[in-house]
Amino acid sequence: MPFASTLNGDFGKTEPQLFSYNAVICSTNIRHTMTDLITRPRRLRKSPALRAMFEETTLSKNDLVLPIFVEEELDDYKAIEAMPGVMRIPEKYLAREIERIAKAGIRSVMTFGISHHTDDTGSDTWREDGLVARMSRICKETVPEMIVMSDTCFCEYTSHGHCGVLCDHGVDNDATLINLGKQAVVAAAAGADFIAPSAAMDGQVQAIRQALDAAGFTDTAIMSYSTKFASSFYGPFREAAGTALKGDRKTYQMNPMNRREAIRESLIDQAEGADCLMVKPAGAYLDILRDIRERTELPLGAYQVSGEYAMIKFAALAGAIDEDKVVLESLGAIKRAGADLIFSYFALDLAERGIL
């Protein structure tokens, strides 16, 4: 006791008595003192076979979608310096690349076009012979079983680089909806399996669903970029896609600090008829991915964006990390958080080298 009574009734402090263990310490003593441990999680980790047996999250090629960049009027492959290992594919070589992707076992691609025919509305996107239509057509004619997702936006097709029709107060939401519907119908007619609206316009899923159904494409699905943040992780994509953007997209893409709004955006798209939802970016938003996973029964995708890819690549090139291990850990984390599909620039390399 730190305080003790004296004979005269006064209270005074005494030195606390310290516990003393006088036995000789050896491994046998330690084992005897620890025999009351009932739970030992390490039992299930003691061999590679046990660790594999009890692994809760597994990755396969079927989890991955490969985003590809296709440039018209390009003579040869063009390296994207900010994304080592990623190339712009000349349109004339797209069929060859789709065969290569299919041979590696990747079942789905997301197409992004780099257009040389830009204007203030991105009208090339709804031309029947425009780049959007040609990409889907080439993919499906070359490998019919390839699942083609047509990124549905305007930023690579407008002279100003924004994702819709510009007006005095910014991007005109409702005018852009009309054009999104036209682009979606053209892509569906060319064979796209999924329309993937990424323009971040209010009501875009409903507008596209109505346009598709009216044109007879009731079986064409919508993979909505339902929760898309105005993220700084998109930096390398600007080089990859060749956008002419000046300024930012913060009036239509989401504030990265908003969690409740992020959930709401995806649930709105679900109510409008989306067949699949998506969180973009993925790695810095695993909490949002889990939140949405717990609120919807729809398939849920996550996009490991260009900045996420570049950070891993450049860190590996500097010798700071083991690229393969970090790639698998990052993809595993995205799936563990709730993703059914992961859009990743690592997909083809992982498949071709037999890592997945």
| Tens of pLDDT, residues 158-208 | 888 778 888 878 889 999 999 999 999 999 999 999 999 999 999 999 999
When pLDDT is cut at 50, 70 and 90, the band that residue 125 belongs to is very high
The answer as to whether 239 is a domain residue is yes
96 annotated as belonging to a binding site for a ligand: no
The answer as to whether 43 is a domain residue is no
Mean pLDDT of the chain: 91
Mean pLDDT score, 67-94: 96
**CATH code at 281?**
3.20.20.70
ω before 67 within 30° of 0 (cis)? Answer: no
345 annotated as belonging to a binding site for a ligand: yes
What is d(CA 170, CA 249) in angstroms, rounded to the nearest whole number? 10
Q: Comparing 270 with 241, which gets the higher pLDDT?
A: 270
Domain that holds residue 128: 59-353
Max avg pLDDT among 30-44, 112-126, 128-142, 250-264? 128-142
The answer as to whether 32 is a domain residue is no
Annotation says 78 is catalytic: no
What percent of the chain clears pLDDT 90, i.e. is strictly above it?
79
On whether the pTM is more than 0.85, the answer is yes
The answer as to whether 19 is a domain residue is no
Q: Quote the number of domains for the chain.
A: 1
Q: Quick one: pLDDT at residue 6? A: 44
163 annotated as belonging to a binding site for a ligand: yes
Annotation says 228 is catalytic: yes
The sign one gets for the Cα dihedral 183, 189, 191, 193 is positive
Mean pLDDT score, 325-353: 98
The answer as to whether 45 is a domain residue is no
The answer as to whether 41 is a domain residue is no
Q: Looking at 228, 246, 250, 313, which residue is catalytic?
A: 228
The answer as to whether 122 is a domain residue is yes
**299 and 276 in contact (C-beta within 8 Å)?**
yes
Q: Looking at 78, 182, 280, 313, which residue is catalytic?
A: 280
153 annotated as belonging to a binding site for a ligand: yes
pLDDT in tens, 2-40: 444 444 445 455 555 555 555 555 655 555 556 789 999
SS3 317: helix
The answer as to whether 235 is a domain residue is yes
Tally: H helices and E strands in the chain: 12, 15
